[in-house]
Amino acid sequence: MRAKRLAAAAVAGLTALSLLTACSGESPNSNNNRSGSTTVLKVGMPNGPQTENHNPFLGSSSGASLGYRWQIYEPLVMTNAIRPADPGKPWLATKWEWSDGYKAVALTIRDGVTWSDGKPFSAEDVAFTFELIKKHEGLNGAAVPYGDITVAGNVVNMTFGSPQFVNQAKILNAIPMVPKHIWSGIADPTTDINKNPVGTGPFTLKSFTPQTTTLVARDGYWQDPPAVKELRYTSYTDNNAQTTALANGEAEWSFVFIPNYQAVYVSKNPEHNKVWPASVLGIHGLYINTTKKPFDNPALRRAMNMVINRNDIFVQAEAAYFHPEVTSVTGIPTPAGESFIAPEFKGQLHKVDVDGAKRELTAAGFTFDGNTLKDPTGQPVTLTLTDPAGWSDYITSLEIVKDNLSQIGITATVDKANQDAWFQAVEEGNFDATFRWTNGGTTPYDIYQTIMDGALLKPIGTPASGNFGRFDNPEATAALAAFANAADDAARTTAMNTLQKIFVEQMPMIPVGADNAGGAYVTSNWVGWPDDANPYAPAQPTQPNAVDVVLNLKPANA
């Protein structure tokens, strides 16, 4: 399935949650039971052979792809995408206080924490980490405008060039803290593979192969030691191989799309084989490269949107559970985002309308030559739909889209790409159309920012952290900035309504399904997983919260 779809939470909005007033507390997992004989937890991801790279800042690294970076490195605060209104859980920071309209934050750093090499962790390390991100644009995926970063005892004070209401969790939850005494000697932190990772987390690297990475619990961790003493991360070739591994017990935890999941996975061990598709406010859909003609024409993009059969994709590609249909024309998932939908779009739902799409096209100067759509210059309209070969739900989605587009004379082909090559091509804008996810958060801001923010716009050939379709619309960029910088809810509502209007009229990305931050896990050996009864964290092994999940696990036979 997807390395970054699962792994890039470091800049992804699955962690973009609200962090409101100052919070403090004792060790977050101080009361866990750590008895029992089971010691190994087997984690799997369907991302194919890995190239060794333990750089915790890089979404393309093996540490991000498999998720083990968050067992070695830790954030300041644990937020919860499943319950975004909840206050964050103190982690490496015990308190965080925003001021000056979210243009300043004071971070109180936890005492008594050590790096895995035994050296003390301090506020100086935190300040250094943020200075590193400030200095290197390639590490600042959220484009946070860092200002002054100073240290006073165990408090780090930071200022920002603009309000950070929308970036609170990206700052506090999605950035791994790194040791100054090591990273100050790294020439280029945007490319270094970090061969010998040293973090504050409960685990250290034992071994790496392209197939399996093994971590072991370390001495001196600042919380109660985990009951899990060894983590084995295996990268399976594709979704099918990963599903088989879960079904037969070879793997115990994954985030993977499972077609016919009841029959092929749950039924194999109904008592213990679990799927928890917890929803969040993010979406998946078809990104269109708006720099390529004739797809720079919004009428063509609107027509394409009008023929996409979202229910077919939900049922056939997403097994009727994984990514629920996005029905609102605004692209905002409901019911989670219902309160944000502008009055003019209330009750306006996506529906398949081939005849309406054809009228849209002919009104914009497109013509039909038999079953072939021709652009206003007389050229047939063709495009390549691309996603990694192993991501079966996305590939099936593309096949459905290909068939849908043929109804309005567009000839599409499906390219089953190499995963690494796909990531590079999408980030550099070298594609026609691709299924991909957006960031998510407590408002639709992160959805629209991922798709439309001119602040993330890069030239073709230069990697971008968002706006992959190179949508260049100053009005959208201004509305995003207005939402982020708003002084009150009324101003944010006005900006959000503007964003919806632009999205509906311009259709820079065709929304299809809502995101989820759940996972698949096996309870035969380990219990304490998040679920509907106790949604304390996302159940994805690639999220920052993965370390919280592991610390909450205890042997089933205890």
DSSP string, 262-306: HHHTGGGSTTTEEEE--EEEEEEEEEE-TTSTTTT-HHHHHHHHH
Q: Give the per-residue pLDDT at 327.
A: 95
The amino acid occupying position 431 is F
For residue 13, pLDDT over 60 is answered with no
What pTM does this model have? 0.75
Measured CA distances, 342 to 196, 348, 498 (Å): 50, 10, 9
- The overall average pLDDT reported for the chain is 92
pLDDT, position 82: 79
Of 8-12, 231-235, 248-252, 337-341, the poorest mean pLDDT is in: 8-12
| Rounded mean pLDDT, 5-21 | 38
> Structurally, what CATH architecture does the domain formed by 203-278+517-555 represent?
3-Layer(aba) Sandwich (3.40)
Residue pair 180/125 in contact by the 8 Å Cβ criterion: yes
pLDDT value at position 306? 98
- The model's pLDDT over 515-558, given as tens digits with 9 standing for 90+, comes to 988 899 999 999 999 998 999 999 999 999 999 999 999 999 87
Question: CATH number for the 279-516 domain, one of 3.40.50.300, 3.20.20.10, 3.10.105.10, 3.50.50.60?
Answer: 3.10.105.10
Residue 316 has pLDDT above 90, yes or no: yes
- Residue ranges, comma separated, of all CATH 3.10.105.10 domains in the chain are 279-516
Q: Which residue carries 């990475």 as its tokens?
A: 213
- Which of these CATH numbers, 3.20.20.140, 3.90.76.10, 3.40.30.10, 1.10.10.10, describes 73-184? 3.90.76.10
Residues 303-315 have pLDDT tens digits of 999 999 999 999 9
User: In this predicted structure, what is the pLDDT of residue 37?
Assistant: 64
Backbone phi, psi, residue 114, to 5°? -125, 155
**pLDDT (tens digit, 9 = 90+) per residue, 196-209?**
999 999 999 999 99
Share of the chain above pLDDT 70, in %: 93
pLDDT confidence tier of residue 36, bands split at 50, 70 and 90: very low
Residue-level pLDDT at 516: 86
The two tokens of residue 429 are 């804008």
Q: What is the mean pLDDT of residues 322-326?
A: 91
Burial of 137 (0-12, 13-18, 19+ CB in 10 A): exposed
Element (H, E) at 232: strand 230-235
Nearest-10 Cα torsion for 237, 243, 249, 255: 90
Average pLDDT over residues 198-224: 98
Q: What share of the chain is helix, strand, coil (3-state, %, to 5)?
A: 30, 20, 50
Residue intervals in the chain for CATH 3.40.190.10: 203-278+517-555
Residue 472's H or E segment, with its range, is none
Which of 14, 51, 69 shows the shortest CA–CA distance to 420? Answer: 51
How many whole angstroms separate alpha carbon 496 and alpha carbon 474? 15
